[in-house]
Structure 1
Amino acid sequence: MFGLHKIHSKLLYKYMLSYLLMFFIPLVFMSVIIYQNSVVSLREGIEQSNIDKLNQVKNLTDDRMEELEKLAVRISYDHRLSPYMVNDGFYGKEAIEELNKYKANSSIIKELFLYYHGDTKIYSSNGSYSFKTFEQTYRFDQSEKKKISKALESNLPIVFPAESVTVKNNEKERLITYLHPTSRNTATPYGAVIYLIEESAITGSIKDILGDFQGNAYIFDENKNILTSNLNSIGKTDIKKLEKIDKSGVSSVNHKGNEYSVVSVKSEISGWTFVTVMPTDQFFSKVINLQKFLTLLLISIVLTGSGAAILLARNQYRPIHNLLDFITKNNHRVYDINNSNELETIQVTVAKVLKDHESLSEKMDIQAPFVRDQYLMRMLNGHLTDDNEINSLLDSLGIVMKSDQYFVVLVSFNKEFPQKREEIIRFLSFLTFNEATSYGVEVGYKDAIALIISIDQSVENSVGPRKIVPEIKCLLEKNFKFEPIISVGNLYYEKSKINRSFIEALAALENRFMNDRDSITYFEDISSRPERTIGYPKEEQIKFVQSLKQGDQIVAIETIKYMFESVANKELSVQMIKCLCFDIINTVLKVAVEIGLDDQTQDINRVVEFNSIGDLEKNLYPIIIDICNEVERRNENNNSKLCNEIISHINDNFSNYDLSLENIAQKFKLSTSYLSRFLKEQTGVTFTQYVWHLRIEEVKRLLAETDETIKNIVLKAGYIDVANFTRKFKKTEGVTPGQYRNLYASRNNQTQPNLENDKHFRG
């Protein structure tokens, strides 16, 4: 199937066998466990449910009997029911009414009687009776009558089983007789309270609690006499067998060849035993049905699973086979594949992938600050113009900016504090205020750090640059004891225009000579200086010059367009407009000469020959674009030259153990953070990764070409801690330096005989 019949692999057959075992062994165990647990659990649940119901019957019966006992005690202490009061002609009626109230306290009492020793009468809620009248009204069986008469003189409560009693209307009722002696602060009773209880009141409550129970229910007293019973369709069970049941729980009895399940509960209060009897098949009908269902289900699973296990095993082996082919063709570091188990080969490869993934994650964590700084520089240089793209990149880098206003602050270093340079850069990399956040990045020129500050204007009493910037200045003076030179760009409402604020901040920094050295220069203040402008705002000219120096085409064209519009909108003479146009031309040429772009002035004749402002604007655009492109090209060349010098220095000195990013930064007059980011941008790897690559390649070369000790080789490569280098070498190469040398030697030994045989054959 699927071409696997052409593959002769023991793993395939082992795989098929393992799938069969994996299917059947758990299936057998789980089937037995599930079968036993489900049946036992269901059986226990059924038993416990019946026990709980029977306990409810017991508790209800105990509660009612306790009520009757309490009634008897209350009657014995009721002064209105004393022998004198009940026999008194005047108070006797009140006593009878009191008995009627006691009778109403219990719903199971058919009638209540009060008897005093030596008295010829018996008293009830309906009045007093002579014994003869009582016997005529309630005609008990002769033997039962004698038992009741004898029990009237008893010192203990006595309950007589339910019997059929003929009442005065010749109606027969099954009644339970309960006699409770009455005493008042003495151990010797002076009378008794007689309760006639309807059996239906007891059996009715049993039926209500047991619900759709179809068996028999019995209540035995402490002498194993049946007090009452509720018989259903199964007929009367062998009572003698039931009388032998002493413990609470579930048991079984056999009666006339049929097995019955018996549930019994004994009351600790009354000593009575409550018993239910039900045919076992009916009692455990749900268990029997579950057993049949599980048996059929198991058979069907075994029949279908046998074929499915084999088919699944073969289908699952196909990806392993394909993956093994892929590894064999693409992984050149796999050795002895034919002698290895396919799964072991895959395991080794996956382990290598996971190891590489872990290493990549570590590299990403290390490179995260470089990516952040590079992204912030792209924003400052105007390389990102779409707000949606900017927001997406911000989210991916975890940079949170407020959503209303943005501006850029330049903090220029004081040359007198080089030792605090790195600390200041780290301090300014991220700052938070109540309504603003600030992200700092070293720009690499002007010896300054650019802070991109975002403000949330939705908060009441929101702040602006003139409140936030002095706070930054105070923080620097407080923490580093130095007075910064700060310039501030204007506010913008779009992230894509942050580069404009950056150019304005650069322009303000160049024009700071108008202020004190330690003052804060705001770009917006440049236009407010008491200088009279004729054509266009002075700050726009400054911004235009700075955009050309930065090579920002978008801002440069946008600014010069605004300058021409300002000139055109002013009511000036033609001569004055021409002078202003020549001033703009002169500004462009001065910038070109200042930054060393003399070749951009060759087309000056074509530029100065213009008939309108539109012609001049159109002719200047190509020159502006050429200047910006040339600035970017020179920046790239300068970066490339600087990178070559730094790389050359690292290549020449990588074996020095004291080679560090700080030393190189000091040599090339750069900060370590900027140098680190610069190297990452230019080479694609960090300084540590680049130096490690040079050193490990040198170690591998010396291991293969020389017989020097590993310790000397490691020391020559620039490492002092040999043990630490060995661990890192094994993590990178998968083997220790000693194993690498042996592996390289074994490869040479395998190759040399082949060369000798070739020579001998050719000879």
Structure 2
Amino acid sequence: MKWNHFKSKLLLKYTLSYISIFLIPLVILTFIIYQNATDTLRSEIEHTNVNQLTQAMTVIDERMKELHEIASRIAYDGQLTPYLVHHPYYSRDAISTLEKYKATSSIINELFLYFRGEDLIYSAKGLEDLSVFLGRYKFHSWKKEDFINDLNNVRFPTMRPSELVDRNGQLQQSLMAYLVPITPNKPYPHGTVMYLIPESSLTGLIDSILTDYQGMTYIFDDNGHVLAANRHGEPVTPDEVNALYQLTSGIHSITLNQEQHSVVSVKSEDNGWTYVTAMPSKQFQERILHIRTFILLVFSVVVVMGTLIAILLARRQYHPISDLMEIVKLKTLTERSSEPPASNELDWIKKTLHNYIKRIDIQEPYARNQYLLMLLKYGHSRDYTAEVQSMLGIRFPHSHYFVIHISWDQTAKAEPHDAELQEEPVPSIVPLFTDISIPEHAASAYGVELPQPEQLALIIGFDADNEDPSVLYERRVQIVEAVRSRIRSNSPVPLAIGVGTAYTSPEQLHQSYIEASSALDFCMLNNQESTGFFDKLSEVQDPAFWIPKDLLLKLNQSLKQGSYKVAAQTIHTAIASLKTEKIPVALLRCICFDIMNTMLKMASELGIHHVVKQLPQLTSFDSLEELEKKLNVLAAEICDHVERKSVYEENTLLNKIIAYIDENFTDYTLSLGTISAKFSISASYFSRSFKEKVGTNFSQYIWQKRMDEVIRQLIQTSDPLKDIITRVGYLDTPNFIRKFKKEMGCTPGQYRKQYGNSGAAELADDEED
């Protein structure tokens, strides 16, 4: 019977998980894309407005300069002197001249000339009394007394804020009055030129920036007064207007009339006027309506497709679980545990298999052997808990433990006095040591069948109050002889036994196992039916053979130089020489350890301390070929470290040298030779490395640093040129000036006159002369 997928909570979880995996990032990504599109559009509009507002400011500044120039020309025009203007015959020419001046500017509504102390004012339309003029132009806030006073006393060009002016009692127009004293820049001007400028002439230039956006435009003078404005009907309080003036140049976001606005502000350096545009921010959202629609459409399509894909992936993920459930149900069909899952299928499978495997582990005899084998390999059992150890009946109650590694040959012939036994089959000795007790020596043992054929390991525990090594050795000898006697009495096969050192903790059994295996290798190498104790192998006499010192020195040097090929060849030569000699295993291992010691010592000297952790892996090898591979890996690691360290030290040294040059480039003794001597580096190597890293040679780098410093001091200080040149490290001033002119196209004095303060220009010119 198949499981009902539609009722599966696990399948629902998988489906929701897959949907969440793609839906959450998709929502975040969609929001980021939409927000980025809005911000990008807004940023583009705002930066465009900054550029256009700056252009409008430049245009208006140019128009103001034109008005100044017109006033200057009027002041020096021979036809507009007080005598000719008052002359009954030449006054008509003066009026015509004013008409020509008026026509030269596109923003002027009317131009007036007034000679101070008089009651008459002149325009392109003729001469009229001040009372008549004020009757024709009625200013709402500019009283007659203030008007006459300003005409007679203004000392500097002054722009009055725009206001509604009644013209001829019929037409109202918002005008600005711009008063320019003549003659300009003179302490006692004799007259005033007054321009009447329509407010729309200036605001129209700024309004063109907004194009089809709604918003407000303002022009403030340097005192914060509104010279001209176009609010487009938006109510703005005086405090909000003042806040607009207080803004620094750039792009801002502020609230006006309880609505968020994007504000662009620029300030003229010529006359100190501030130009401001303010647009409601909601307009930017409206502009990306089509982008929003497109994003929502794509989002919807992706959600639908992603949901379908999530369902398919969830069903595919669930399919093997469903199959596994069917298998488990078949295995437990006759048992009560085969019931529908309480939470989900995985929990039910986990519970069922856990109980099943638990029973198998207890019943199968190999579980005990597997546990003990893990103990021998790793010093602890990684796959079993203390609870499982107790269930397997394994205990470690003794004070000392050691390992015996036994090897035998089932096909070997027995000794002569046992020849008659050869006619009967030789029984296996493995079942003899599943779990034994040696009461005569207060010891017990667990037998471990090893993966290698005809080999067995015994984990032996015994109690000993005396920690004297000789006493522990005698106890081990007695126990081993008892084990050998028990084997001989049941299975007369030739035995080779290796005995490890005794330890106080079962977690050290893997060390004793390695030692026992080493002792067994010695016994088997000598083809003896004997017992070898690891701690007695050092007493074996060894022949006069060792790794040649020249090979070790060559290996040491190749590692120090980071030459892997030479190191690998040296290792191969050393290993090959060992293969040609008939050397006992103990000595062979010592000789091999001599090679390792050489390499590890070099690694330590090079600061590669982590390779010490690899020591257990390096010392566990079954053949010289395997040892050679491991030594080659270690050599490659050391050489790679040397290479990387060499590159790092080289870069570090160059960085130190560059930092030193940057701090001391003004020292006239600084040269390629002094740098090379200071940092103990070859001049040619340093020159080549410096150009490779910086991109320019040493002399060009120093020249550029000194040039930059000279230019900085020319602009920011008024110090004599000779002092500046000397301070940056040049003693030959004329030569420096020639090189400066060749590179910059002008002399230092001319450069300072153009870009620096004027107070030092003459001094620099005198020094160059």
TM-score interval, smaller chain: 0.3 to 0.5
Using the size of structure 2 for normalisation, the TM-score is 0.36
Using the size of structure 1 for normalisation, the TM-score is 0.36
